[in-house]
Structure 1
Amino acid sequence: MSLLEIFSHSSTVLLIVNSILYSKYLKAKDAAYKYFAVYLILMAINQTLVTIYFELEIDNTFLANTYMILQFIMLSLFYFEIFKQQERRKGILIALFTLLIILGVQYIRTPDLFLNYNTFGILATSSVLIFYSIVYFFYHIGDKELKLYLVNSGILIYLLGTILLFSIAKVGLKLAREIEVALWILNAFIYLVFQVIITTQWFVDRKRKKNIKN
């Protein structure tokens, strides 16, 4: 088994575990936790389909588009909830609907794009989410009870890695096969780190709640 497969399979398993752990928040009063739980469940389903299609040797590239769109919607809603300032919340909704309309027009005008990697869509949605993550840290870094701070860090790390990988693809650099494979391995590793961070956040929150009860 290659290093890429090890990282990919490990992150998929951990993603499924995280979706199960966070599923308890589906009935939570805190909408931020609820949206993040839904995000993990949708990503787990999508990633499971990716793995099944891969094992059956069926092209699964279109699932990258469903992953991108679902991720953008759910994480936008997640940040909408953790931002309390009305101006920022309004800005998130405007960005969400604007980008979804742009992507919709893209797919309507070029249906085949849905069966390929939409580099523009990936870069655009990732950039917006990275901006939210940075803004959240900038305005709330001094808060004693910073909500889901580890998750926010993981989102930032993971999406920066995604931006790096697809920016290189967008530029159209002709890389050696070994370098291209190394970049995909790096991306898979970063996603695995992201899942580890999410798991850590769950245990941190659990410990905090126990301390509050005691």
Structure 2
Amino acid sequence: MVNRALSFGLILIGGQYLYEPSDFLKFNRFEIFITSFIVIVLAVTHLYNMLDKKKEFYFLTIGILFYLFSSTVIFLSGNLMAMLSGKYRYFTWIINSVLVILYHLFILYEWKVSFSKKAIQQKNRD
């Protein structure tokens, strides 16, 4: 599934760049949507597969979903935000910065849960 999704995304984005090469140097919302959508679908699939198994990398997956859902909306509105006044122009980028920090906190928590000395000792006992 992963190989098919990545191949599909590569074909779509490559086709767009072959059709319109000037989009390579622009803020490309289609590329943002396709790449984010593929990662979101794969993360949801991973969560679904964990329903009846041990929850490995659960918080990391939740962090990816949280960040990508939020940042995709922000990046898809990127051209709109460029038209706002100077006072509000950077508001979405500040929100994105906060989302990145939250995403890294999810990664940190997952690291603590999965790779702390207690977790490693408990895995060795099992």
TM-score (norm 1): 0.50
Seq. identity, %: 25
Contact 2:9 2:38 in 1 (8 A): no
Q: Which residue of the other structure, out of 63, 69, 89, is the alignment partner of 1:180?
A: 89
Task: Give 1:142 shift.
Answer: 4.2
Comparing 105-114 and 193-202, the one that deviates more: 105-114
The aligned runs of 1:25-64 (5 Å cut-off) are none
Task: Give 1:169 shift.
Answer: 3.3
Residues 6-33 of structure 1, C-alpha deviation per residue, up to 9 Å, x if partnerless? Answer: xxxxxxxxxxxxxxxxxxxxxxxxxxxx
**What amino acid maps onto 2:40 in structure 1?**
I
**Structure 2, unpaired ranges of 5+:** none
The aligned runs of 1:2-41 (5 Å cut-off) are none
Alignment coverage as a number of residue pairs? 122
- Matches of 1:153 and 1:165 in 2, distance apart? 18
Residues 149-177 of structure 1, C-alpha deviation per residue, up to 9 Å, x if partnerless? Answer: 1110111011011211123236x475443
- Matches of 1:166 and 1:203 in 2, distance apart? 30
Name the structure 1 match of 2:29.
119
Name the structure 2 match of 1:213.
124
RMSD over equivalenced CA pairs, Å: 2.2
- Matches of 2:43 and 2:73 in 1, distance apart? 17
Contact 2:6 2:38 in 1 (8 A): no
**Structure 1, unpaired ranges of 5+:** 1-88
Name the structure 1 match of 2:11.
101
**What amino acid maps onto 1:127 in structure 2?**
F
Task: Give 1:183 shift.
Answer: 0.8
Which structure has the greater CA radius of gyration?
2
- Matches of 1:140 and 1:160 in 2, distance apart? 20
